[in-house]
Amino acid sequence: MTGPKKLAFFLPNSFTALNLACGFISVLLSFKGEFYYGCMILGLGAIFDSVDGRIARLTGTQSSFGEQFDSLSDLISFGIAPAFLIYNRFLLDSGRIGIIVAFFYMLCGALRLARFNANIEKVSSNFFQGLPIPCGALCILGLVLISLDINIIQNYIPVVAVFVICVSLLMISNIPFSSFKDSPFVRKHKRAMLFFIFVSFAAILVHEKIMIFALTTAYVFGSLLYYITHKKALGDIFQWNEPDEE
């Protein structure tokens, strides 16, 4: 492998490593009770995660190694780190129930990634099979962030536990969540979508504690509503004929 090729191969994996580092640092910060910075460093990890795959495709350096490294990194950053955030923020005094709820989120995240790897050649690029784990993590950190502004949320631990369980179940569900990669609507309304993205980023910069939670929950509920209204057309999108075992 020549020098430029080695550099091209190293570049996407370096962003994956940065994502992994963000997850690790978030765990440390959550133990210290620095929940704001723990959430924000995890949001930075989500940005790194969205970049590494695109760089690999642009440089033609996609590999099985990169896919596995990315999944292991995602398990730390979007599975383990959010579980520690939600546990240390809300469930620390809930005993075994709190441990089970946090572990259940992490378990569903691991199952989500394992299923994604197993079906990577089958799933349409238009939809994710179940809620993507980065979005699940954003739902969790969004709840933690909004609780820093609205302290009364800490008085409703059962509601928090139900929210975490629902997010966990959505990750391992067969509900299609749009990836917007080849969406006809996006292609038809490119300018409107770019404007929406710009406004969303501006809103996050102005008030990230509210907007991250608002945008992620809007995506989740919007996807659920779309699935309910188009259930007949999307009903068999994740059903494949498995080859007969010899």
The tokens of 126 are what?
């238009």
Domain range 3-234, CATH class:
mainly alpha
Q: Of residues 176 and 245, which shows the higher confidence score?
A: 176
Task: Give the integer Cα–Cα distance in Å for 145 and 180.
Answer: 26
Q: Of residues 217 and 236, which shows the higher confidence score?
A: 217
pLDDT at position 246? 41
Task: Give the integer Cα–Cα distance in Å for 20 and 74.
Answer: 7
Is 108 within 8 Å of 172 (Cβ atoms)? yes
Arithmetic mean of pLDDT, 7-20: 83
- State pLDDT tens for residues 141-174: 999 999 998 989 988 999 999 999 999 999 999 8
Asked whether residue 137 carries a pLDDT value surpassing 50, the answer given is yes
Domain map of the chain by residue range? 3-234
Q: Of residues 103 and 209, which shows the higher confidence score?
A: 103
pLDDT at position 97? 94
Q: Of residues 55 and 61, which shows the higher confidence score?
A: 55
Task: Give the integer Cα–Cα distance in Å for 97 and 118.
Answer: 31
Asked whether residue 10 carries a pLDDT value surpassing 50, the answer given is yes
Q: Of residues 241 and 10, which shows the higher confidence score?
A: 10
Asked whether residue 46 carries a pLDDT value surpassing 50, the answer given is yes
pTM above 0.95, yes or no: no
Question: What share of the chain has pLDDT > 90, as a percent?
Answer: 50
Asked whether residue 245 carries a pLDDT value surpassing 50, the answer given is no
The tokens of 111 are what?
């199952």
For 245, phi then psi, to 5°, come to: -80, 135
- State pLDDT tens for residues 90-116: 999 899 999 999 999 999 999 999 988
Task: Give the integer Cα–Cα distance in Å for 78 and 42.
Answer: 8
Asked whether residue 241 carries a pLDDT value surpassing 70, the answer given is no
Arithmetic mean of pLDDT, 113-131: 80
HEC-encoded secondary structure of the chain: CCHHHHHHHHHHHHHHHHHHHHHHHHHHHHHCCCHHHHHHHHHHHHHHHHHHHHHHHHHCCCCHHHHHHHHHHHHHHHHHHHHHHHHHHHHCCCHHHHHHHHHHHHHHHHHHHHHHHHCCCCCCCCEEECCCHHHHHHHHHHHHHHHHHCHHHHHCHHHHHHHHHHHHHHHCCCCEEECCCCCHHHHHCHHHHHHHHHHHHHHHHHCHHHHHHHHHHHHHHHHHHHHHHCHHHHCCCCCCCCCCCC
Q: Of residues 189 and 70, which shows the higher confidence score?
A: 70
Q: Give the CA angle between residues 44, 222, 112 to the nearest 5°.
A: 55
Mean predicted lDDT score pLDDT of the chain: 85
Is 195 within 8 Å of 203 (Cβ atoms)? no
Asked whether residue 77 carries a pLDDT value surpassing 80, the answer given is yes
pLDDT at position 72? 92
Asked whether residue 193 carries a pLDDT value surpassing 60, the answer given is yes
Q: Of residues 219 and 5, which shows the higher confidence score?
A: 219
* CA-based radius of gyration for the chain: 19
Is 183 within 8 Å of 126 (Cβ atoms)? yes
